[in-house]
Amino acid sequence: MHEFWKVTPGGNPTILLRAEDVPAERRAAVASAIMDSQHIGGEQVGYVRLEGRPRLDMMGGEFCLNATRAFASVLDSLGLLGREGEASSGLVEVSGADGPVEVRVTHGESALPFVEACLHFEELPAPEPLSDRLCLVRVPGITHIVQYGESPARTELERFCAEQRHGLQLLEEEAVGHLWLGGSPADAVASVPCLSLSPVVWVRETASLCFESACGSGTLACALAEHAKGGATCFSIVQPSGTPLSVRMERGAAGWDVWVGGPSRITAHGMTDLSGIL
């Protein structure tokens, strides 16, 4: 039996296993099996090291903001983050990231913990325009295609996304997000643009295309695309789960700190049987 955590960081149910329990060469196959509804069920899998500086490796070696936030929830529950008042914080290593990622968990009186992850940039990634309604945004570990308007019908999405990756020559990327962004800054509440996101993520290593109920790096990519258009630095982007994720861009002397955050819940923690999978 092997220990696991299942965390829902505003959508995007994420399964975390101990890295030492699954050999690197078996991680893609194990991830594919346990994401199935006949096993634990989820949208993505990560492998975690708790000793020393905590580390998260995603199922395909990609970077994932939501999985990083899910990992922060687990570390907080185990008392492995530094605590100050109502907040806990620390640094974690994550596959696909160039350096340590700062995470912070803030506890309220009754609401779910608000969990944030921060990426530092000397300069914000610049979107690559492809048309008036289409651009590429490259963030650590994943390239996102940001497009405006309605996504194709679900029955057409797999074909559409495969043709889009091929046409844009993205087949060698570790992961590709196909993002449809709706709403506009005109919907703003308290000067924060309120947008809606429909994300689909393809991971090359596992050959998986996932219709995600939330996407942290996709939320970041959309905020970067909107920032480049209008200069806004704070966003609230509603996920398919109905939960908003926030993006906050802070400029300092050494560059930009970009915080992506939202509620996170540990929905299950226990032991799972990997017989016949490992």
| CATH code of 133's domain | 3.10.310
**3-state secondary structure at position 108:** coil
Does residue 51 form part of some domain? yes
- Asked whether residue 34 is domain-assigned, the answer is yes
DSSP state of 274: -
Strands 44-49 and 2-8: unpaired
Q: Please report, in tens digits, the pLDDT of each residue of the chain (278 residues total).
A: 999 999 999 999 999 999 999 999 999 899 999 999 999 999 999 999 999 999 999 987 888 899 999 999 999 999 999 988 889 999 999 998 888 999 999 998 778 999 999 999 999 999 999 988 899 999 988 899 999 988 898 889 999 999 999 999 999 998 899 999 987 544 444 456 678 999 999 988 878 888 899 999 999 999 999 999 889 999 999 999 999 999 999 998 889 999 999 999 999 999 999 988 88
Q: Could you tell me if 139 and 244 lie in one domain?
A: yes
Q: Domain residues for 244? A: 128-249
* 30 close to 23: Cβ distance less than 8 angstroms: no
What integer pLDDT is reported at residue 187 of this predicted model?
Answer: 42
On whether both 136 and 102 belong to a single domain, the answer is no
Same domain (yes/no): 117, 90 = yes
Q: Is residue 68 situated within a structural domain?
A: yes
For residue 51, the tally of other CB atoms under 10 A from its CB is 9
Does residue 66 fall inside a structural domain?
A: yes
* Domain count for the chain: 2
* Residue 64 maps to a domain: yes
C-alpha span between 176 and 165 (Å, rounded)? 8
Whether 258 is covered by a domain: the verdict is no
Same-domain pairing of 78 and 150:
no
Say if residue 132 is in the same domain as residue 241: yes
Same domain, 117 and 134: no
One domain for residues 67 and 111:
yes
pLDDT given at position 192: 60
Classify residue 256: in a domain, yes or no.
no
Same domain, 116 and 207: no
Residue 153 sits in the same domain as residue 181: yes
CATH code of the domain covering residue 76 = 3.10.310.10
Looking at the fold, whether 112 and 75 belong to one and the same domain comes out as yes
- Helix (H) or strand (E) holding 48, with range, is strand 44-49
